[in-house]
Amino acid sequence: MIIRGCSSQPTSAPRSCFSTSFLLPTSNRHSFKKRVTTFKHELDVVSCSFNSPSTNFRIQALEAKKLDGVISEGSRTNLQNDHLTWPSPSDKVPFWKTEFPSWDISDSGHVDIQKDSDPIHVIHVTAEMAPIAKVGGLGDVVTGLARACLMRGHTVDVYLPFYECINKQHIKELTLISTYGSYHDGSWIPTNIYRGVVFGIPVVFIEPTNHFFKGQSVYGGSYDELEAYLFFSRACLEWLQVSATQPDIIHVHEWQTAGLPLLYWDMYQYLSLQKPRIVLTIHNMEHYGECRQEQLNKCGLDGSVYATEEKAMDDRTIGHNPERLSLLKGGIVYSNAVVTVSPTYLKETLNSGWLAATLIRHRDKYFGILNGIDTAIWNPATDAFLPAKFDANQIEGKRICKLFVQRGLGLAPEAQDSAKVPLVVCITRLVAQKGLHLITNAIRHIEALNGQMIILGTAPDARVGSEFEGLAQLHNEGPSIRILQMYSEELSHMLYAAADIVLVPSIYEPCGLSQMIGMRYGAVPLVRKTGGLADTVFDMDDQSHSETANGFVFEGIDEGSLNCALDRAFSFYREKPNEWRDTVKKVLLMDNSWNNAAGKYIDVYNNVRFKHH
Ligand code: ADP
């Protein structure tokens, strides 16, 4: 972790406590507005003198006095126990690691959702689930889709490996149900089954008693990942058989569980499981589950059976010695329906890449459904991690969030008289797909434009990690750039809330959640036109689509294209503050919730329910 304090910061944070709720009952709005006006003025005064070490004590005193005055009345009106302490980079406990009010959205979002007339039983078999085992968007999607289907009256379970690193804090009613044997490489591994509830979703945890899924991260443990997920896929089917559970749909995700359709149709369907039909969602076609025949043998299938072009042969290896299999391709062939996560990515995958031929062959069962976001998990009006709440009608809290993050990371707050300082945030896995050269270029260009940028990301590749470490050392003590190499769900919420602009310059992006989450928190997206980004962000300067315009879009993969979009966004922010404010409101009001997308998934489930393979 690489945060160093700006030398001009106070050495300890002012301890001003106040209600963090800026969504007040209507009767209080008038007096609230007056208080906020006073507060705004004081923020500006604070900002003007912030960078001068000699004024530190004055700032603290001023803040303590004024903020107490402004907010103490607020604390009488709402959320009595919610208190804010202004953070500083020198705090012993960084502000995103302090204690937060409990984060439980189990009961949120049920209102206004109409129940479907014909309830079905869906089991998700997945390598990730937010927030207990999340690495990227897959975890968000499983939780969001499962909750949306539950709300519509369906029965949903999630089956997940019981990773050693799983975040147990969010699992309720965790109970060991049974121990049974599941097959791996000639023996039956004693396997524990636990049940628990995560955000209202019933979850089954599968824990083999061998070394699989041990280690401090979801992926990259010191075991053979392919064999572990093949084991997990079979263990899920085995448990369904042992417990005589026959869902309507088994919904598998990515290569990790794409072996399950093969196991189902060629093995368990001949045992006792007959009812379920299989849906596969491909979230990212970057990983294919490359597999040797002998590896597939280990889960009890005969690998040689799948080594044909029509089944699971990896087309790139035809004629090689040895040829290889691809679990993802096998999953496409053997599933009753295949979904990918945006209409544009669907087109892109039919037009390029070695799997295109297989996808074209199975075109009639291949669908593009844009992901949603869970609007209860991502809700700036109730978010437990935010220092101040806000929504489209009451935006002031966003300004507090920006100042809070700037203070906490030692970034210079916006000064009243100088050019406005847009804060750009980029929250991402630091991998080539995400446009690494564009992200590093953005650092330079944003600094040159006198803006600010915060990158929150993790790099699975050590070389990429050390490149960003070098950039962090170069910039993290300055007033405008912070590069934070770590994973923090809490900080991500705060950064989306603080951001003026959320940057997603991906080279390709199947759907992308970051831009949708950013918009939900009033951050205007700046994205490259690809995949799901092209389906969700429309350029402000495209006069022909002014009603959908909601951000800034560029097409090239060169730095110049990105710079030009940044220039346009910065000018807009600085020169048209009213229009900018309207855009912030517009993105805050956009509906990217799961409800619509869940309806499309339910149509797919219903379509395949009674079909034969
Ligand atoms: P991908 O699935 O390719 O990683 P998405 O945009 O679909 O990209 O989803 C990324 C999700 O992971 C978002 O919820 C984003 O906020 C989150 N995320 C990515 N990196 C981090 C990080 N370092 N800390 C916290 N959240 C992160």
pLDDT tens for 545-587 read: 889 999 999 999 999 999 999 999 999 999 999 999 999 999 9
- 387 alpha-carbon distance from chain centroid: 21
Residue 471, C-beta contacts closer than 8 angstroms, at least 6 positions apart? 440, 443, 483
Rounded to the nearest integer, the mean pLDDT of the chain is 87
pLDDT given for residue 417 in this prediction: 58
Q: Is the CB of 372 under 6 A from ligand 1?
A: no
3-state SS, residue 75: helix
Confidence class for position 83, pLDDT limits 50, 70, 90 = low
* Range with lowest mean pLDDT among 269-283, 324-338, 402-416: 402-416
Q: What is the pTM of this model?
A: 0.85
Is there a cis peptide before residue 10, judged by omega within 30 degrees of 0?
A: no
User: Quick one: pLDDT at residue 28?
Assistant: 38
Residue 85 confidence (pLDDT): 85
Question: Separation of 6 CA from ligand 1 center, angstroms?
Answer: 28
Closest by CA position to 522, among listed 497, 504, 539: 497
Q: How far is the CA of 117 from the centre of ligand 1 (A)?
A: 35
Rounded to a whole number of angstroms, the distance between the first and last alpha carbons of the chain is 50
Better-predicted residue by pLDDT, 58 or 500: 500
**Average pLDDT in the 391-401 region?**
96
Cβ of 20 closer than 6 Å to ligand 1, yes or no, is: no
Tell me if 265 CB under 6 Å of ligand 1.
no
Token digits for 479?
């007033």
Phi, psi of 610 (to 5 degrees): -105, 15
Residue of 514, 515, 517, 535 with the most ligand 1 atoms within 8 Å of its CB, for mutation = 514
Q: What's the whole-number mean pLDDT along residues 399-420?
A: 87
Q: State yes or no: cis peptide before 322, omega within 30 of 0.
A: yes
Q: Is 492's C-beta closer than 6 angstroms to any atom of ligand 1?
A: yes
Q: Using a 6 Å cutoff on CB, does residue 136 contact ligand 1?
A: yes
Quick check: 101 pLDDT over 90? no
- Atom 9 in ligand 1: residue holding the nearest Cα: 137
Is 321's pLDDT higher than 60? yes
* Residue 540: other Cβ atoms inside 10 A: 21
Assigned token pair, 406: 């700037």
449 Cα–ligand 1 center, Å: 27
% the chain with pLDDT above 90: 79
Ligand 1 center to 135 CA (angstroms):
7
CA separation for the pair 402, 287 (Å, rounded): 37
Q: Which helix or strand (DSSP H or E) is residue 453 part of?
A: strand 452-458
Residue 14, CB-side half-sphere exposure with 13 Å CA sphere: 21
- Confidence at 42, pLDDT banded by 50, 70, 90: very low
Alpha-carbon distance of 87 to 65, in angstroms, equals 16
Residue length, the chain? Answer: 613
pLDDT at 26 over 80: no
Poorest-pLDDT segment among 54-63, 182-191, 520-529: 54-63
Phi, then psi, of 45 in degrees rounded to 5: -60, -45
The one-letter amino acid at 498: A
Higher pLDDT, 65 or 288: 288
Q: Is 490 in the pocket of ligand 1 (CB under 6 A)?
A: no
Atom of ligand 1 nearest to the CA of 496: 16
Burial environment of residue 546 by CB neighbours within 10 A (0 to 12, 13 to 18, 19 or more): exposed
Condensed to tens digits (0 to 9), the pLDDT of residues 433-462 reads: 999 999 999 999 999 999 999 999 999 999
pLDDT at residue 79 tops 70:
no
Q: Find out whether 547 and 559 touch, Cβ atoms under 8 Å.
A: no
Q: 140 CA to middle of ligand 1, Å?
A: 9
The residue whose CA has the least distance to atom 17 of ligand 1 is 136
Atom from ligand 1 closest to the CA of residue 514: 6
* DSSP secondary structure, 106-128, as one string: TTTT-TTPPPPSS--EEEEE-S-
The letter for the amino acid at 544 is S
Going by C-beta distance under 8 Å and a sequence separation of 6 or more, which residues neighbour residue 496? 378, 425, 427, 502, 517, 518, 520, 521, 523
Contact 588, 519 (CB under 8 A): yes
| 491-494 contact pairs (CB < 8 A, 24+) | 491/96, 491/456, 492/427, 492/456, 493/378, 493/383, 493/385, 493/386, 493/521, 494/95, 494/96, 494/385, 494/386, 494/387, 494/401, 494/404, 494/405
Q: Which residue has the higher pLDDT, 415 or 119?
A: 119
Give the residue whose CA is nearest to atom 15 of ligand 1: 514
Q: Is the CB of 458 under 6 A from ligand 1?
A: yes
